[in-house]
Amino acid sequence: MKGRMLKNADILGGRYEIVGWLGEGGMQQVYRANDQLLSREVALKIPKDAAAEKRFKRSAIVSARVNHNNVAKTLDYFEEDGRPFLIEELIEGCDLSDITKNVVPYLPPQAAARVLHQLAKGLHASHNAGVVHRDLKPSNVMVVGAEKLELIKITDFGIAKMAEEELAGWAAGEDKTAATSSKTVLGAIPYMAPESINSFREAGMPADIWAIGAIVYELMSGKKPFGQGLAAVPSILSGKSPSRPSQIENPQFKSLGDQLYEVILKCLVVDISNRPEAGDLVAECEELCYTRDLYELGAVKVVKYPQYGFLVSDEHGDAFYHRENFYGDNAVQEGSRVWFARHEGGGNDRAFPIVKAK
């Protein structure tokens, strides 16, 4: 792995001062920078190698066409000493893969439906502007406010252009299950539509719809719909639907869970002519009764009776819980970590929904 290519206090483009490190993906490194001209903080992205560099400008031009609250905004692009730089809106939070890796194993349908609605809206605006993502996966979806789940923003539009050689090369291969060492390929496969696997370069807007269906299935169930890595390829091509998440059997989650599962299955249809378009998906999401709660982390403080007790949050006061209001695993004891939405009122606040946290 390449080390950090820029260091704090470096000034790029005569105005962007590096003030911190945000992370890296397969194609690029991301830094926190201070835009001295407009006195604001921004995200500065730089490609990791020459292969990615060639596609970087195209990626910037493509993403700059989209202006929507559910899409991270491209602010600037410039080249300096032959190196390209992309400036993007800074998102204070984490990406969606961090949520399922570090916060909770799965999200209740109330939260997953809201994520789907926002992904669909962002995609709708992008597709309207003629922009296709083609490499949507949880690490390309940013979550403002991290575990609070404030707002979803799709990022890295056009990054598939940078990864195209690698992905298309793999997709052009005869044996799709032959071993590959490409992290880019392995990371993309679980969310890849059948048509992308068959011919990556030709995949279009319907492949984005498939991807958000796969992402939201994973959010709701805690499992990738077709399995991990190369093993997913035969399942994706088979046309078999992923199974109904067992968590939604709980009557508190069943109705919305069933509806959301149905919408997800529509996205995961092999025949692209039968897949909804982003606008259809937005309309379907508008029919779902979900909530716009903000979530918080805490722990079980007291188990009062088998069915209920009190939670204490890391930042706010106590809240009452009922065991029925847990999504998925509800085997908690005093001290168990939990993630929940709070409904305020007199007396004790009430927690709903609740998920046993990691």
Partner 1 sequence: MSDTLVCEDAHLDRAVVVKSLKSGVDPKRLVDELAALSAIRSKHVVQIYDVIREKSGTVIAVVEEYLDGPEVDGQPPPKNAKKAMELLYPIACGISDIHAHGRVHRDIKPANMKRDDESCLKIFDFGLAKISVPGGATKNLYFSPGYTPPEAFNKNASGEHVFTTALDVFAFGATALFLLAGKLPKGFSDIPPTLGGTEADFKTLPQKLPDPIAEMLNACIAAERGDRPAMHDVKDLLGRHLLFDRHRANFVLNGKESVLDASKRSAKFSFGTEGVLAVSYDGIAFRVTEVSGAVHINNMPVDVGFELPGACVIVLGVGRVRGIITVSLSHPEVSL
| Of 128 and 241, CB closest to partner 1 | 128
Q: Write down the least CB distance from residue 169 to partner 1, Å.
A: 27
CB 220 within 8 A of CB 257: yes
Q: Write down the least CB distance from residue 128 to partner 1, Å.
A: 7
- DSSP letters of 132-165? --S---GGGEEEETGGG--EEEE--TTHHHHHHH
Tokens standing for residue 196: 């992308």
Backbone torsions φ then ψ of 16, nearest 5 degrees: -100, 110
- DSSP letters of 199-225? -GGG--HHHHHHHHHHHHHHHHHSS-T
| Of 215 and 282, CB closest to partner 1 | 282
Which positions touch partner 1 (CB under 8 A)? 37-40, 60-61, 64-65, 67-69, 73-78, 89, 110, 117, 128, 251-252, 254-256, 282, 286-293, 305, 322, 324-325, 341, 343-350, 352
Angle at 265 between CA 190 and CA 338, to 5 degrees: 70
Burial of 199 (0-12, 13-18, 19+ CB in 10 A): exposed
Helices 251-267 and 109-128 cross at an angle (nearest 10°) of: 30
Q: Write down the least CB distance from residue 240 to partner 1, Å.
A: 29
| Of 57 and 301, CB closest to partner 1 | 57
Separation between Cα atoms, residue 30 and residue 285, nearest integer Å:
32
| Of 98 and 324, CB closest to partner 1 | 324
Q: Write down the least CB distance from residue 124 to partner 1, Å.
A: 9
| Of 47 and 194, CB closest to partner 1 | 47
Q: Write down the least CB distance from residue 37 to partner 1, Å.
A: 6
